[in-house]
Every structure is written in structure tokens, then in C-alpha cells.
Amino acid sequence: MFCLSEMEDTVRVPPDLLKLPLEVAIKKVLQKLLLNKVLSIGLCVTIYDIKSAEGGFVLPGDGPATYKVRFRIVVFRPFVGEVIAARFKESDSNGLRLTLGFFEDIYVPAPLIPRPNRCEPDPYNRSQMRWVWIFEEQEYIIDHSCQINFRVENISYPPVPTEQAEDAKPFAPMVITGTIDDDGLGPVSWWEGCSERNNEDDDT
Amino acid sequence: MKANAGTLTNFEVLDLLNSRGASNDTTRVIAPISTSEYTRLHVYDYLMETPACTQTQEIITNFSDQCKYFKLAKAEILNIINIRPSSTVNLAPILEEPSERGIDKKAKEGILKLVEALLPPPPIVEARGDNEEEETEEGEQS
């Protein structure tokens, strides 16, 4: 789910950081600019290294020193088809929302929840709907109780909205659509002790 | 700009964060975290509950080398390392069109044996959430 991205950017190091070793100062500026942000390459996690820094010119009328920096950054960007371990966050009539802790915009829409299923008001949480998979007359509830494995179907980077209604959900710059409709996906408790039974079916 | 200058296993990211003192980061208990720290610390927390926290570089390199025999895609090997499937059913969603590539039941069993032999079991994680249940090992009980 993580990869290295190599970037080049112009970095302005403010005068108060210039007393630090150059690499440390540049890293500090880059961290503030990039970390915890979603770029087109994914969610930035940490600066990996600085490959080169050129310049150091101070432009007229400007305090900071300007550097052209090549660096590598660790980003969270899963690949389509990747199976990822997540936790349940919430669910509604549209489907499930899962979380990794550091990333919470993972959605499993209703069509990607195994069928037959039903969606009903959650008896433990009146404001929520919960999903229940029905298989061989057994009911399998999807809730907080264990880790949920999903597979990445799609990653999108919605454009920043120019206007937002007051009660709209906070804007998510990166959205992962996942599926739990396959063997081995969904809550891990569904598959414990299952390997012998499924041996015959695993060539689908 | 090179969007993809190389994929990293969960272990490699955890190792990197550890080398930068993530495990010793007591400041988050004392003071509010800055936004740039937020992701890094939460990625660390996430990875510490995955099989990555029991892996080493040597284990991963060794496993990747041995996997060559099974003609798996690089992405599949990475996914197996990160998830550490312990049964055929856990392995199933990771492999793409296995029957079309000649990966039969025997090959799948071979892959699982390799996982069992070379990748340490994941940590024991307790269930979170509203209910009182506790989860035992996530891997299969052998």
C-alpha cells in the first residue's frame, strides 16, 4: 500500500531555519508543506530522503533562501486488486465505511457486499444501519467485532468542491472503493476454520 | 516527477518509521500532535498490528526469492508479505485468475507452506469496538 515517489520542488527556507544543517532545514519545510496531505500521487506519509538541493539564492526583497530540491517521499497509495486489512468505521444504507486509522475514506458500496444480504437499523446504534450477510441459513453481521479484509476496486481523487452545503460530509481528497464480495474477504471471523470446506471451490 | 519510484512493503515503512523514533514518540501523549505528525504516527500504530511488526528485511528478501518458483506477480508477493495468509481461503482474494495461470491447488498449498515456514505469525490483536469480545490469534490455529 505504500510506495516511494520522487519529486522536484522549489523550497523556500525561512531565515530562522538557516542555522540548521541544510538537509534538516529543507526536510522541515517539506514536512510542513506535504505531510498529511493528499497529492495526485497519494497520501504523503514521510520524507524518505533528499537527493539533491541546488541554489540557496536569496531573491531581492525576500528573506527566505530558495532551493531547487529533488527528494523522495513515502506515500500511501494502494494498487487496484490489493487486499488490505481494515477496521469497521460505520455503515448506512449505501454501504460500509472502513478505516485504517490514518486513512478513513474507504467505502464498500452495497453492490460489493456479498449477497444475499439485508440492511436493517442497528439495534446498538439507532443512527446507523447495519449489514447482514445470509449464507446457508446463517447470518453474518458486519460490525466492529473484528478486522475486515477488503480488496481495492478503485481509487479516486475528487476535485475540490467550490461550494459545499453546510451539512455535507467533509471533503475527502482521496477515496478508495473496496469490495468484500469474494472468498477470504470481509470480517476475518467469517473464514476462520474454513480452509478444509473451501478447498474444493478454490479454482473459481 | 516519478510517481512510482518503487513499492515498499509494510515492513519497510515500519522499519523506516522506527528508525526515525516513532516508537519512542512520547510527545504525542504530552502535547497535541501537529498535522504533519498525525499521519506518520497513525501509520505506525496501524502497522504495529499487522504481520509487518514480526518481519525483518532478511525474512522478506528470502521469502521473495523463494516465491519465484511459483511465478507470482510482484504485487502478489508484496500482498502476501503484508497480509500473511494462513489458509487457502485467505490466499484466494490475493491471487488474480490463478487457474488461468496454472496456479493449481498444489501450488497454492506450496505457497502457504512457504508462508508458514518463512513468515512469522502476526501479532495477537484484541478486538476493539463496543462489544466485550476478545479476538484470539488472527492467523489460523495450527
What is chain B's pLDDT, residue by residue, as a tens digit (142 residues)? 777 889 999 999 999 999 887 666 555 555 556 666 788 889 999 999 999 999 999 999 999 999 988 989 999 999 999 999 999 999 999 999 988 888 999 999 999 999 999 999 987 765 544 444 444 444 444 4
Q: Which residues of A touch B79 (CB under 8 A)?
A: 82-83
> Which positions 44-73 of A are in contact with B (Cβ < 8 Å)?
44-46, 48, 72
Pair (B87, B105) in one structural domain = yes
Question: Which of B13, B79, B138 is facing A2, going by the closest CB pair?
Answer: B13
Q: In what order do the strands lie in the sheet with A125-135?
A: A117-122, A125-135, A138-142
Which has the minimum average pLDDT: A45-54, A154-163, B27-36? B27-36
Pair (B66, B47) in one structural domain = no
> Which positions 154-193 of A are in contact with B (Cβ < 8 Å)?
182-185, 188-189, 191-193
The pTM for the full model equals: 0.85
Does the beta-carbon distance from B140 to A192 stay under 8 Å? yes
Domain that holds residue B36: 10-23+31-53
Inside any domain, residue B92: yes
ipTM score of complex:
0.87
What is the pLDDT at residue B126? Answer: 57
Q: Which residues of B touch A51 (CB under 8 A)?
A: none
Does the beta-carbon distance from A83 to B16 stay under 8 Å? no
| Closest alpha carbon within chain A to B4 | A5
Q: At what angle do helices B10-19 and B74-83 cross, to 10 degrees?
A: 60
The identity of residue A105, as a single letter, is: D
Which has the minimum average pLDDT: A73-87, A106-120, A166-180? A166-180
Within 10 A of A180 (CB to CB), how many other CB atoms are there? 25
Inside any domain, residue B103: yes
Inside any domain, residue B102: yes
